[in-house]
Amino acid sequence: MRINRQSQLVAGKVLLFFFGASILFHGLVMTGTIDFHMVWGGRLKSWEEMMVFEIISLMINVLFLWITAQRIAFIRRLFPLWLLQGLFGLMTVVFVLNTLGNLVSLNQLEMLIFTPVTAISAVCCLLLVFRKELK
């Protein structure tokens, strides 16, 4: 498969936008601005349970944003390219599974909004698995 540098840069920028928006979204859930029953498939039972899941989600999104920024040379790379490629392979799997989870969400709005976002994220991550220096 032939992937050009421009496609990878666009994929990386889309991911930066999604991760930034996700960080904001999860912050709004944690402050109670957005009802926590809208996330995690509508399966959370308490405020305390939500906080644990949201803190974990927030940390993962910050990590994914940081990894993406390194991969597209938006910030200085601390990890070797082969490791970043491997991490994007794992992220692709995470987003494919997340897409499947969103498809069976008990919350219709979550299913309609986040299924396409996670599917697009999976494709973008897959594009960043391929070896291209993006300096």
For residues 70-74, average pLDDT: 94
User: Is 44's pLDDT higher than 90?
Assistant: no
The domain segmentation of the chain, as residue ranges, is 5-127
The CB density around residue 28, as the number of other CB atoms within 10 Å, is 12
Structure tokens at 15: 């991911």
Structure tokens at 103: 């498809």
Q: Exposed, middle or buried, 35 (CB in 10 Å: 0-12/13-18/19+)?
A: exposed
User: Is 75's pLDDT higher than 70?
Assistant: yes
Percentage of the chain lying above the pLDDT 70 cut: 96
Residue type, position 82, single letter:
W
Helix (H), strand (E) at residue 133: none
Q: What is the mean pLDDT of the chain?
A: 91
pLDDT range class, residue 1, cuts 50, 70, 90? low
